[in-house]
Amino acid sequence: MAQGFRPDRVGDLIREDLSALLARGEVHDPDIGFITLTTVKMSPDLQLARVFYTSLGDAVSRQKTAKALARATPFLRRQIGQRLRLRRVPVLDFRFDESIGHQDRIEQILRDLKTEEAKRATTDSPADAPHPDPTRPPDAGDPES
């Protein structure tokens, strides 16, 4: 039987509540730092919530943030249980969101390709030379002459 949109709606509610808890500073752990909750993916039975987040900083600060979130998970789960009226409170599984890094990498590759293409265009053909017609064969003469 299809679950419809309920897992998505519950995931959005959990993301909003967790974001509010973290933004208001109710979690008193300085290692959490500045994080952004990107998405919450719920299992179809609403028993597991995978919370994807991004954070500023290098790999060391990412590890500190992951450990701090693991320490704060019981508190956050308890708060979610008090705020949302669910039969069972889902298990929170915090994961670093790698998709932002992948998007940045793709954008960088596209920028590099564009600059490389622009360099080739300026070195291969002079600016005042007419561009050949790609629909015409190279040895075909002007039909009007």
User: Is residue 52 very low, low, confident or very high in pLDDT (cuts 50, 70, 90)?
Assistant: very high
User: Is residue 86 very low, low, confident or very high in pLDDT (cuts 50, 70, 90)?
Assistant: confident
Query: Under CATH, which number does the domain 6-101 receive?
Result: 3.30.300.20
- Mean pLDDT along residues 112-119: 89
User: pLDDT tens across 117-136, in order?
Assistant: 888 888 875 555 555 666 76
pTM for this predicted structure: 0.69
CA dihedral 27, 29, 34, 40 (to 10 degrees): -50
CA distance 113 to 7: 40
pLDDT value, residue 100: 77
Please list, in sequence order, all residues whose beta carbon lies within 8 angstroms of the beta carbon of residue 65, skipping any fewer than 6 positions away. Answer: 31, 32, 33, 35, 53, 55, 57
Please list, in sequence order, all residues whose beta carbon lies within 8 angstroms of the beta carbon of residue 7, skipping any fewer than 6 positions away. Answer: 42, 43, 44, 46
CA distance 28 to 63: 17
Which single residue is written with the structure tokens 């360099």?
A: 119
Is residue 46 a contact partner of residue 86, using CB atoms and an 8 Å limit?
A: yes
The token pair at 46 is 């609403």
pLDDT value, residue 142: 56
Residue extents of the structural domains in the chain: 6-101
Q: What percent of the chain has pLDDT over 70?
A: 83
Give the residue from 30, 16, 124, 39 showing the smallest Cα distance to 69. 30
